[in-house]
């Protein structure tokens, strides 16, 4: 664990995320980071596995943001880095740290609760997406995260009905909704369609908790094997 400072930029081969760089750019050599911006990173084998930053400070209040690299998720790193940032902020003059995330970001919500945050209020965020395909996918993800599974399926079906060349991720989202509705066969159908259309993110699929009931079955192993073949094809 290391507090964000300019020594990160001096490490050969270390890829520094943009929001960490932003904290460094905000702070001049004589600035008090507790009044401008600060953060912590978790380092592992020459990589930044996770980071948490406070890069918006107004008076004695700051806003936290955090990211865990995909290969390091579900190991508690978001909790550890966020706790370090919160402790640093409160010990250096902040009286409030705000945590904001989408209702579909269950991992972020759980991490916030684990750290003692209370859900104060909900608000609506409007986004204008000029790409209709990703509008429907974003809508499906939002419904899925809020446990509105039928609405998530409706959004995917609207996309399928209106567009050609639907991205495989849309079918993956539908599979997630079907399995949460207790429809394993339908979930497999959509997973298989995602694979047919080129889905190759094996680690992402394996990481989804909702697929626990499918794991270990011959059909599940067959789907994963086809994903691996897609991945090999992409690499080639």
Distance CA 65, CA 63 (A): 7
CA distances from 26 to 20, 48, 101, 103, 230 (A): 10, 20, 23, 30, 43
Q: Is 31 helix (H, G, I), strand (E, B) or coil?
A: coil
Do 140 and 208 lie in one domain? The reply is yes
Q: How many domains does the chain have?
A: 2
Q: Is residue 144 part of a domain?
A: yes
Could you tell me the residue range of the domain that residue 230 belongs to? 132-235
Do 23 and 107 lie in one domain? The reply is yes
Q: Is residue 126 part of a domain?
A: no
Do 143 and 222 lie in one domain? The reply is yes
Do 108 and 152 lie in one domain? The reply is no
Distance CA 119, CA 220 (A): 37
Report pLDDT digits (tens) over 212-230.
999 999 999 999 999 999 9
This prediction's pTM = 0.57
- Angle among Cα 203, 71, 167 to the nearest 5 degrees reads 45
Q: Is residue 27 part of a domain?
A: yes
Q: Is residue 140 part of a domain?
A: yes
Is the pLDDT score of 82 beyond 60?
yes
Do 45 and 139 lie in one domain? The reply is no
Distance CA 179, CA 189 (A): 11
Do 14 and 94 lie in one domain? The reply is yes
Average pLDDT for 205-214: 92
The domain boundary residue, chosen from 114, 142, 157: 114
DSSP state of 64: E
Do 110 and 139 lie in one domain? The reply is no
* Closest by Cα among 174, 223, 166, 173 to 200: 223
Residue 71 has a pLDDT of: 86
The CATH number of residue 82's host domain is 3.40.630.30
Distance CA 139, CA 132 (A): 11
Report pLDDT digits (tens) over 94-139.
999 999 988 878 888 899 999 999 888 888 876 666 678 888 898 8
Do 74 and 43 lie in one domain? The reply is yes
Do 210 and 149 lie in one domain? The reply is yes
Do 92 and 19 lie in one domain? The reply is yes
């Amino acid at each position: 664990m290391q507090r964000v400072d300019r020594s990160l930029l001096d490490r050969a081969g270390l890829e520094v995320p943009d929001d960490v760089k932003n904290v460094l750019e905000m702070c001049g050599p004589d600035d008090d980071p507790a009044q401008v911006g600060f953060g912590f990173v978790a380092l592992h084998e020459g990589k930044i596995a996770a980071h948490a930053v406070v890069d918006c400070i107004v008076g004695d209040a700051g806003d936290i943001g955090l990211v865990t690299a995909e290969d390091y998720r579900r190991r508690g790193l978001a909790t550890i880095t966020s706790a370090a940032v919160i402790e640093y902020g409160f010990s250096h003059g902040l009286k409030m740290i705000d945590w904001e995330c989408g209702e579909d970001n269950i991992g972020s919500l759980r991490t916030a609760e684990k750290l003692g945050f209370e859900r104060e209020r909900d608000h609506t965020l409007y986004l204008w997406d000029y790409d209709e395909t990703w509008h429907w996918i974003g809508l499906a993800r939002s419904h899925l995260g809020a446990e509105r599974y039928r609405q998530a399926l409706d959004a995917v079906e609207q996309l399928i009905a209106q567009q050609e060349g639907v991205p495989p991720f849309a079918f993956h989202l539908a599979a997630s909704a079907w399995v949460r509705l207790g429809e394993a066969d339908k979930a497999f159908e959509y997973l298989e369609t995602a694979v047919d259309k080129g889905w190759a993110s094996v680690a992402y699929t394996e990481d989804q908790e909702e697929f626990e009931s499918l794991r270990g079955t011959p059909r599940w192993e067959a789907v994963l094997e086809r994903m691996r073949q897609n991945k090999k094809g992409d690499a080639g």
